[in-house]
Chains A and B, each alone.
Chain A
Amino acid sequence: MAIASRSDRAKRGGVIINEHVLTASETRRHVDALGRWFDFIHHDELLDRLARPKARPFCLLTFDDGKRSFATETAPELERLGVPAVIYVATQFLTDRTALWFDRRTAIRRALGYLPPEIEREVLIRLPLASINERLDRACDKYKVTVDMEDDDVGPMSWDEARDLARRGFTIGAHSLRHAVLTCETEASALSDIEQSIAEVSSEIGTPCKSFAFPNGNYTARLARRALEAGANTVMTTDPMWADNSFPPWRLPRVSLNRAYNRGAIELKMSLATGRWLVNPNGTGRLYRKSSHACEAAGAKW
């Protein structure tokens, strides 16, 4: 990690971390590991830090989906530690309070001890949301599986909790309506999903929504452009790399961390992320080691 922090990328930027659910102690462990090497920043500082890098690399923490556990466990611990964060909420998940598709899939796996091939993750992330739901409805009926929405790691936070978090300094971003893999939808439906989710965050929170994160990390430039047009000024992917000023704001990379990671695993992952060794968790299987980065090839700087 010490070598990684002296690399070119580290000198030019930092990391945007993609988390999902963490308990208070897991939050502490992750913040301790990252805090040794990085300055934690607020979302509002991100573009400035990318444009004007400082000696020490930055770290922006982001949490996807808007689960209740963020409000009950993670946020209080982050506040105690003085670490800002962004929460990307799937807006209709908060509104209609029904389980997200991957939590239903997890519930089926827990109940059966295995997953039928037609609902393996590798298959589902290639389907439009309507087909995913149809398949999971059928499987839940067949195996008599229900999802425990009382579990804080499964159920959504309320809009009141989201507003409260925004008042306390956390940034609320949009993460689509119901976590569809947007590149599998028709383009018209994906564009409308992005627009609507950004508008819903703005109207529910009462301040303009400034950031959008692609569910599952799958994106195209046209979709990202729509997020910018709808008012976001940063758009997050799951390209597993350090962020620097070679990335346009519509394609900011995020390194995903698992709740079980210890300090060593986190440092190893941060080191690998400087060299483009990591596989994108969005299912595209991209290895960046040999592929050239689009915006670098296009010579785009801002």
Chain B
Amino acid sequence: MADNAKQINGERRLKVVALLVGDPQATELWTLKNLAATGCELYVVRALKASGLSTAERLKRLARQHGVVGLVSRLMGSKLIATRQARKELRQLDLLFGGEELRGWWIASGIKPIDATHLNHADARSAIAKLQPDVIVRVTGGVLGRGTFSLARIATLNIHHGVAPRIRGMCSIQWGIIEGRSDWIGSTVHEIDDGIDTGRVLWRGRPQLAPGDTGTTLFFRAHLEAVEQLVRVIREYAAGKTPESWPCEDRERSDYRSAVGLWGWLRYLYLGAGMRAPVIFERAWRVEDENTELNWGRLDGDRVEIRSS
């Protein structure tokens, strides 16, 4: 047991460092509030920007990864749609998470974030190292380098909004909608390793997919459940236990998606627009029923016989 660990009711008081980029929005505040409620010593390291790469370096890297057409598509998608869409979804999430109350909690909590350039920068690493965390939780931010995630004594954890390792990378819920993959829609609590969303899975689950759902409501419910499970994992660490790995099928096919391009965003908007959205979701929902052999009821006298389709 580390020297700085304190005991509360026989449980260790873990030192948890939460990493985020920029000012926390309602989604991040929800995570922080629930982490604080575990009774851990909570510190926040806040990066001013998501990455240490200059714009030119980032563009070069994207062009190498996706080609020029892919790069242009991503840039247009980001400038024309993603920014506006993100603003709209932020407003909706603020209402769903109860942003006003959470901001009140944040001010009252007295947590003073330690500012750093970006999460893989030497100043961030030195700030984290000084805190000697038992657990690091990546609340938001880009890909963490080994130099950052290895600073945790026990583990560095992440919530991935998607069913990992089935779908890895950014915007997995949106990709699930765009590509009609309801099995990608969900969330995962996992340890961070050198890959992207490839670490040991501690929990994963899926919100119910119901008519009328949108990308935002699915993200909201997936996040609620993931935070509840993250809290459980932290409590297990505090009790000196090691959470079991979540059973993921061996050799499960893994897909990776990065930022959504222009075509993807247009499709997302088309699927989510007005009265079309519930119909599309209902279709996905119906496919799911067929996969799970929905039992249709059949009239048989006074009783309904349950039979497999």
Q: Are B211 and A284 in contact (CB under 8 A)?
A: yes
CA distance A212 to B198 in the complex (A): 43
B64-101 interface with A by 8 A CB criterion:
95-96, 98, 100-101
Per the bound structure, the CA–CA distance linking A218 and B217 in Å amounts to: 14
Which B residues lie within 8 Å of A294 (CB)? 282, 286
Report the Cα distance A187→B304, complex, angstroms. 24
Asked if A302 is at the interface (CB within 8 A of a chain B CB), the reply is yes
Judging by beta carbons under 8 Å apart, are A228 and B95 in contact? no
B89 to chain A, nearest CB (A): 13
Partner of A249, one of B207, B209, B221, B297: B297
Measured between C-beta atoms, what is the minimum distance from B206 to chain A in Å?
8
How many chain A residues touch B (Cβ–Cβ < 8 Å)? Answer: 49
Q: Are the C-beta atoms of B208 and A183 separated by less than 8 Å?
A: yes
Task: Check A126/B220 contact, CB under 8 A, given A284-B211, A286-B212.
Answer: yes
Q: Which of A183, A225, A249, A287 contacts B210 (CB 8 A)?
A: A183
Chain A CB within 8 A of B9 CB:
no
**Assembly CA distance A150 to B195 (angstroms):** 61
Query: C-beta contact mask, A193-232 vs B, less than 8 Å → 1, else 0?
Result: 0000000000000000000000000111111010011000
Q: B210–A218 contact, CB under 8 A?
A: yes
CB-based contact B285/A221 at 8 Å: yes
CA distance A293 to B207 in the complex (A): 24
Against A, the Cβ 8 Å flags (1 = close, 0 = not) of B272-295 are 000100110010011001001011
Q: Is the CB of A290 within 8 A of B101?
A: no
Instruction: Answer yes or no: B239 CB below 8 A from chain A CBs.
Output: no
A291 CB → nearest B CB, Å? 5
Contacting residues of chain A (242-257) with chain B, CB-CB under 8 angstroms: 248-250
Give B2-17 as 1s and 0s: 1 = Cβ < 8 Å from A's Cβ atoms: 0000000000000000
Residues of the B chain whose Cβ atoms lie less than 8 Å from the Cβ of A291: 275, 278-279, 282
- Indicate whether A23 reaches chain B with its CB closer than 8 angstroms: no
Whether A286 and B101, one on each chain, are in contact in the complex, defined by CB atoms closer than 8 angstroms, is no
Q: Is the CB of A286 within 8 A of B211?
A: yes
- Which of B211, B220, B299: most chain A CB closer than 10 A? B211
Contact pattern, A 268-286, Cβ under 8 Å of B = 1, otherwise 0: 0000000000000011111
Say yes or no: is A33 at the interface (Cβ < 8 Å to chain B). no
Q: A128-B224, A229-B306 are in contact. Are A187 and B299 (CB under 8 A)?
A: no
A235 to chain B: closest residue by CB: B297
Chain A residue with the shortest CB-CB distance to B220: A126
**B299 lies within 8 A of A123 (CB):** no
Closest chain A residue to B228, Cβ basis: A186
Q: Is B303 an interface residue (CB 8 A)?
A: yes
Flag whether B270 is at the interface (Cβ < 8 A): no
Do residues A302 and B275 form an inter-chain contact, with CB atoms below 8 A? no
| Residues of chain A having any CB pair with chain B under 8 Å | 44, 47-48, 50-51, 117-118, 120, 123, 126-128, 131, 135, 138, 183-187, 190, 218-223, 225, 228-229, 233, 248-250, 282-287, 290-292, 294-295, 297-298, 300, 302
State the 7 A-B residue pairs at the shortest beta-carbon distance, nearest first: A284-B212, A183-B210, A249-B297, A233-B304, A302-B298, A291-B279, A221-B289
